[in-house]
Amino acid sequence: MRGFCGKYLLVDLESGSMEERSVGEDVFRKYVGGAGLGAYLMLKEFDPLVDPLSPGAPLMFLDGPLTGTNFPGSGRSSVVALSPLTGLWGECNVGGAFGAAMKLAGLDGVVLTGKAERPVYLWIDGGKAELRDASHLWGLDTYATNERLEEELRGDGGLVRTMQIGPAGEKGVRFANIVNEMGSVAGRCGLGAVMGSKNLKAIAVRGGGKMGYAHPERAREVRKAITQKLENHLLAQTLHEMGTNGALDTGMLSGDIPIRNWSVGEWMEALDTLNSFYYNDHILVKTVGCYACTVRCKRVVRVEEGPYSMEEHAGPEYETVCMMGTNLLNPSLEAVAKANDLCNRLGMDTIAMGSVIALLMEAQERGLLSPSETGLDFSWGNMETALEAIRLTAAREGFGDRMSRGSRALAGELGAPELAVTVRGLDFPAHDPRGFHGYGLGYAVGARGACHLNTTNLLVEGGMASWPEIGLKGPYKGMTSKGKAELTWKCLSVGQLFNSLCMCEFIGAFLSLNDQVEMMRAATGFDWTLEELMECGWRIWYLKRHILNLRGSGRNDDVLPPKALTPTREGTNAGSVPDMELMLGEFYRLAGLDEEGRVPPEKLDIDP
Amino acid sequence: MRGFCGKYLLVDLESGSMEERSVGEDVFRKYVGGAGLGAYLMLKEFDPLVDPLSPGAPLMFLDGPLTGTNFPGSGRSSVVALSPLTGLWGECNVGGAFGAAMKLAGLDGVVLTGKAERPVYLWIDGGKAELRDASHLWGLDTYATNERLEEELRGDGGLVRTMQIGPAGEKGVRFANIVNEMGSVAGRCGLGAVMGSKNLKAIAVRGGGKMGYAHPERAREVRKAITQKLENHLLAQTLHEMGTNGALDTGMLSGDIPIRNWSVGEWMEALDTLNSFYYNDHILVKTVGCYACTVRCKRVVRVEEGPYSMEEHAGPEYETVCMMGTNLLNPSLEAVAKANDLCNRLGMDTIAMGSVIALLMEAQERGLLSPSETGLDFSWGNMETALEAIRLTAAREGFGDRMSRGSRALAGELGAPELAVTVRGLDFPAHDPRGFHGYGLGYAVGARGACHLNTTNLLVEGGMASWPEIGLKGPYKGMTSKGKAELTWKCLSVGQLFNSLCMCEFIGAFLSLNDQVEMMRAATGFDWTLEELMECGWRIWYLKRHILNLRGSGRNDDVLPPKALTPTREGTNAGSVPDMELMLGEFYRLAGLDEEGRVPPEKLDIDP
């Protein structure tokens, strides 16, 4: 083994057959791994035009060449499928230790097609794999599923790592997620519903193998150097001490936070009870980290009493604090923690769920629907309603069935599409393009829709990363659209790389891109240069964009929703909106897209 | 030479005699250099009880062991004297290249006493020194003085570096400064008035020697490593791109900025025309750097037309943008640049001058004095008045004579001492202890009064630096007083070290303290450990504190002014004030001060 194993397990859930498929070195060299490999396989091995919830649609769990190494930030993997929420390309990047276990079991990935007759789970133990009955797990929440699987499978061997869906995925909620044992989630695009549509409750893996490096000695040196660098890095230290929610204060102050369904520019008072100082003082129990990571930014929390009491488990990240906090006018971090816990257990994306609740609060205020229609009082900040909405949505019960289709569909039904804040049907993450114009372009051209991971604009434009080696030195002025197309074009490639390597975006931000090159070379033995890897990034994006094109999405969908183009009246970003025409024009020239936003044939680098 | 030369030039301006005085290695090992050496000499060689403006008072220009090396951030030196503004210990730390030239001329410093009969300047050319007539320079502004001296002295040799006073120093303005050729200033404590009181217009130095290192090979390695570190450091890059005024945005958003004579907590609109994006777009001509520095944060600016037009020269730093901008309710950066240029040319501290203007604006508003008494309309934001006030103060003309005594004296005369915002008579720099409580303690116990350099609280508590090697890991919550005494006690030692080494605080923030140790060891050959250097820092602070005690200042002066203890009603720091009793109590225990704030004999480490 040298970074990659050269094979994935192909499972047909309908027949129960399994086979190992090999992948050539040339594929890794060109498409890297992770989501890049997923895009390649989607076009090469499968029909990219099937219905996302049909048996023929593939569901892929894929590692990158760094997954399973001991480089900090490499403990991640990709989940790839067509998205039932957007109807387009879907991918997630997930932390924890599942990806490492898969690699240590000798696989670069597991790809599943078909639909099992009854609920099953896939058990991979070192070199052996089998499908097992999951009827005793069906209906269980994600954490309970993990506990049962661990009990069942632990035996005498090593740790068992799992990815599972909750009731929401079973029931086909369009934004259902897939959750691992630590409460890390493959959150977006509704890939949990794809899993549910296949009657696949979980995948459990025990690794057992030993990670190989093409250059083990060099790998040791590189690891030592980057670990040292992270130890001395102020933002890495801050991320450890404050978690991702450490971004809330500066975000509020730089015009980055969604408030009141993206309608208000500032809510300073909320910081008192939502920021990380409050978090650390009131709900934090301990910090934990993904596989091999030395930064350890994840939070375990507990709320001891009151209406939002919750047992010790994964705490809310920054995104959730905004989408279940500020964007609902809810100042209670305890309520956010409870909402997060419920969504994790039931198996739903907190961003999409929060967006649905926010739009309903605004809809009720505007008189578009009444408490008697929904059965709930969607007043701003009413977290009792929010929690009940989460429960009803996961069960698709009553009004929950309508909520389970996601904000774009729901707003359309209400005759108020302007209340949904999505690109391509994927809800905005908690970063406001009115404060940072380049984010707007990133959302518009991101392969999976409005997304904080597909492009790394957020890191560079938001001031967390600086990569002078590709001409991105910064700092950048957020509220200008000039120059952002070039920034986005470069960040886009880096984003594809991070999600293909698979490297944590935070760690990626704290290191130089040359560090990434060094890690990749040590792991794979390829003599990759930074230029060649950047070409890989763009190559991968073109594949994904081509899949969008094939499914009818191009220039027509490269648009921001009305909320993002309406200036706020208060706060740092008051009066500012991104100039999409300017940025898109420049971006199209840089990317060489035609006027309908299609990838030209000469850019599409995949064998027919 | 190995970091230090082991000698300083002692000049008696009255008799014109000069002699080289040697300093033993043991002194450097204990008191390091720069301001530390100054404190030692003040107690050991001079009478620390004389009137600051009397001939017997010494005026010292002192290098540290890093000054003149090629380590980034080392191009600084100290100026030490008793302060005519506070009547207590006075010191400044100044950038540029003057200190390096002094070292390369074979001196660790120049110490002057007495008063020349007529205006003179001191000319040091390599190994030779002479006093020359300065009657043709008397009355010239600082930049013109520099130009004349360069013309006169340039000859065939290398660059001439100068430190000079302007008309304000000649006339004894209590906050007159000393300015070098690049417009870097030894700004605070009125040391320009000390220079003027001695009839000393300038010191000009041409180095010519070669810097020595105890371990030249090691020095090369250390320099390479830290230069590389700075190149990859996000905040160092930001400092280069945005200058020190890059702190304005985050400062506004974290409750750090003085507004309306420290009475208002937030003024967001001012950012539009005062922040560094505006600065870079509208007035910046180029960036320059101090001797040996690779970061280059200094700004050269020009205002082409209008009432604030100014020729190309040094631009305002962050402190000045606040004290001449937000604190006067003035949103015009061009007006700030003009005020800065005037103060630099006339030779006055922009912080103290801005504070005087702010207090007069508030006094007029309160009806404590009228335009007919001052001859000027001190309405908020009236920058025509501000510029005229600067001119009158430097000339001590009309009401300018009263202004020239500084804000504490002026507020006292007006019967409104609460309008002055000082500790020990030194005006607050532009960092608000209501937003960062530890700053309040740092101001209270800083050796020269309210000061942003004596302690490095600002770096650590403000989130620019993290020094886990001394247990300061952060991040820290600004608006709490808990734990800040320990933080301040440690930062205090580091601050003394930086001003003794002499190391730029910004570069110091971006590097680890172990990097400082490595630089010091390579330069001096001493086998200093971090622990030993920290002891040096505290030792130096005790000497300075002892000088305060000798001049009657102890617990009685460790107090914040009323403005800093009155909460604002708006912005991030609304409702918050530091708990001085708590912090001072803890600090006294850590420092071992007695209840009157005196240094106990066993802590005073200086031979009798």
pLDDT in tens, A423-447: 999 999 999 999 999 999 999 999 9
Backbone angles phi, psi at A566, to 5 degrees: -105, 120
Instruction: Please determine, for residue A607, whether its predicted confidence score (pLDDT) is greater than 90.
Output: no
Interface test with B, best of A466, A512, A513 (most B CBs within 10 A): A466
Tell me, what DSSP letter sits at residue B599?
P
DSSP A601: G
Question: Could you give the CA distance from residue A132 to residue A16 in angstroms, rounded to a whole number?
Answer: 10
Domain assignment present for B214: no
pLDDT greater than 90 at residue B156 = no
How do residues B484-537 score in pLDDT, each as one tens digit?
Answer: 999 999 999 999 999 999 999 999 999 999 999 999 999 999 999 999 999 999
Task: Tell me: do A436 and A571 sit in the same domain.
Answer: yes
A274 neighbourhood in chain B, CB within 8 Å: none
Give the mean model confidence (pLDDT) for residues A474-483. 93
Averaged pLDDT for residues B65-92: 96
Around A352, how many Cα atoms within 13 Å sit in the side-chain half-sphere? 36
Closest partner residue to B242 (CB to CB) among A252, A466, A475 is: A475
Domain count, chain A: 3
Give the separation between CA A108 and CA A127, rounded to whole angstroms: 13
Alpha-carbon distance B406 to B402, whole Å? 8
User: A72 with A121: CB under 8 angstroms?
Assistant: no
Domain-located, residue A492:
yes
Shortest alpha-carbon distance between residue A409 and chain B (Å): 38
Pair A393, A434 in one domain: no
Q: Do A237 and B466 touch (CB under 8 A)?
A: yes
How far is A194 from B65, CA to CA, in rounded Å?
Answer: 67
ipTM of the complex: 0.80
Which pLDDT score, from 0 to 100, does residue B181 have?
Answer: 84
Q: Which of B380, B367, B371, B368 is nearest to B416 (CA)?
A: B368
CA distances from B297 to B76, B237, B339, B508 (A): 14, 9, 20, 14
The secondary structure of B469-530 as a DSSP string is: GGTB-----TT--TTHHHHHHHHHHHHHHHHHHT--HHHHHHS-HHHHHHHHHHHH-----H
Cα gap A172→A186, rounded to integer Å: 16
User: Are residues A46 and A194 part of one domain?
Assistant: yes
Instruction: From chain A, pick out residues whose CB is under 8 angstroms from the CB of B571.
Output: 268
Q: Does one domain contain both B282 and B171?
A: no
- Nearest to residue A75, comparing CAs of A84, A66, A87? A66
Instruction: Identify the closest residue of chain A to B469 by CA–CA distance.
Output: A232
Same domain, A463 and A534: yes
In this structure, the number of other CB atoms found within 10 A of the CB of residue A365 comes to: 13
Burial code (b: 16+ CB inside 10 Å, e: under 16) for A540-562 equals bbbbbbbbbbbbebbbebbbbbe
Assigned token pair, A500: 């293909």
DSSP bridge pairs for A110: A9, A61
Distance from CA of A471 to the nearest CA of B (A): 13
The two tokens of residue A405 are 């289709």
Last residue of a domain, one of B184, B206, B228: B206
Name every residue whose Cβ is closer than 8 Å to that of residue A178 and which is 6 or more positions away in sequence.
A79, A92, A94, A163, A164, A165, A169, A185, A186, A191, A192, A195, A347
Chain A residues lying within 8 Å of B468, measured CB to CB:
231, 237
Q: How far is CA B361 from the centre of its chain?
A: 25
In contact, B308 and B292? CB cutoff 8 Å:
no
Is A79 exposed, middle or buried (CB count within 10 Å of its CB: 0-12, 13-18, 19+)?
buried
Span A16-25, mean pLDDT?
Answer: 97
Nearest CA to B176 out of B313, B83, B88 is that of B83
Chain A residue numbers touching B254 (CB-CB < 8 A):
249, 253
| Same domain membership, residue A371 and residue A318 | yes
Q: How do residues A127-163 score in pLDDT, each as one tens digit?
A: 899 999 999 999 999 999 999 999 999 887 778 999 9
In this structure, what token pair is assigned to residue B507?
A: 């570069």
In the prediction, which pLDDT does B41 show? 98
CA distances in angstroms from A105 to A7, A80, B400, B536, listed in the order given: 11, 20, 81, 56
Domain boundary among A383, A415, A447: A415
Residue B39 placed within a domain: yes
Residue B103 has pLDDT above 80, yes or no: yes
Task: State the pLDDT at residue B1.
Answer: 65
The answer on pLDDT for A218 being more than 80 is yes
Answer whether A204's CB lies under 8 Å from A153's CB: yes
Beta carbons within 8 Å of A517's beta carbon, 6+ residues apart = A528, A529, A530, A533
Lowest-confidence region among A229-238, B300-309, B385-394, B549-558: A229-238
Q: Are B282 and B343 in contact (CB under 8 A)?
A: no
**B255 neighbourhood in chain A, CB within 8 Å:** none
pLDDT > 90 fraction of chain B, expressed in percent and rounded: 93
Q: Is residue B127 within 8 Å of residue B106, measured between CB atoms?
A: yes
Half-sphere exposure of A77 (CA within 13 A, CB side): 30
Reported pTM: 0.89
Position A219 in a domain = no
Whether B230 maps to a domain, the answer reads no
The CATH number of residue B268's host domain is 1.10.569.10
A223 in a structural domain: no
The alpha carbon of residue A572 and the mean position of all alpha carbons in its chain are separated, in whole angstroms, by: 27
Chain A interface with B: residues with Cβ < 8 Å: 231-232, 234-235, 237-238, 241-242, 246, 249-250, 252-254, 268, 271, 277, 463-466, 468, 473-475, 477, 512, 571-572
Q: Give residue-wise pLDDT tens across range B398-441.
A: 999 999 999 999 999 999 999 999 999 999 999 999 999 999 99
Examine the domain organization and report whether B290 and B195 are in the same domain.
no
Contact assessment for residue B387 and residue B339, using Cβ atoms and an 8 Å cutoff? yes
Cβ-defined contact of A241 to B473 (cutoff 8 Å): yes
Do residues B431 and B408 both lie within one domain? no
Hey, are the CB atoms on B234 and A468 less than 8 Å from each other? no
For residues A508 and A494, what is the distance between their CA atoms, to the nearest angstrom? Answer: 9
Indicate if A26 and A121 belong to the same structural domain: yes
Mean pLDDT, chain A, whole residue set = 96
pLDDT digits (tens, 9 = 90+) for A66-82: 999 999 999 899 999 99
Residue B216 lies in a domain: no
For residue A266, pLDDT beyond 70:
yes
CATH number at residue B49: 3.60.9.10
CATH of the domain at B583: 1.10.599.10
Contact status, residue B484 vs residue B474, Cβ threshold 8 Å = no
Binary contact (A235, B234; C-beta < 8 A): yes
Q: How far is B246 from chain A (nearest CA, A)?
A: 10
Q: Is B79 domain-assigned?
A: yes
**Confidence (pLDDT) at A1:** 66
Q: Are B367 and B480 within one domain?
A: no
Q: What percent of chain B has pLDDT over 70?
A: 100
Say which of B237, B249, B473 has its CB closest to residue A237. B473
Q: Give the end-to-end CA distance of chain B in Å, rounded to a whole number.
A: 29
pLDDT at A39: 98
Angstrom distance (rounded) from CA A279 to CA A274: 7
Among B206, B236, B255, where does a domain finish? Answer: B206
Distance in angstroms (rounded) separating the CA atoms of residues B332 and B325 = 7
Q: What is the pLDDT of residue B182?
A: 82
Residue A322 — very low, low, confident or very high, per pLDDT cuts 50/70/90?
Answer: very high
A433 shares its domain with A401? no
Q: Does the distance separating the beta carbons of A475 and B237 come in below 8 Å?
A: yes
Adjacent-strand bridge partners of A133? A120
Query: What is the H or E stretch that residue B365 is in?
Result: helix B350-365
Shared domain check, B430 and B411: no
How would you label B461-477 residue by residue, b for 16+ Cβ within 10 Å and e otherwise?
bbbbbbbeeeebbbbbb
Distance CA A449, CA A261 (A): 18
Domain carrying residue A299:
244-415
Residues of B in contact with A271 (CB under 8 A): 572
Per-residue pLDDT at B9 exceeds 90: yes
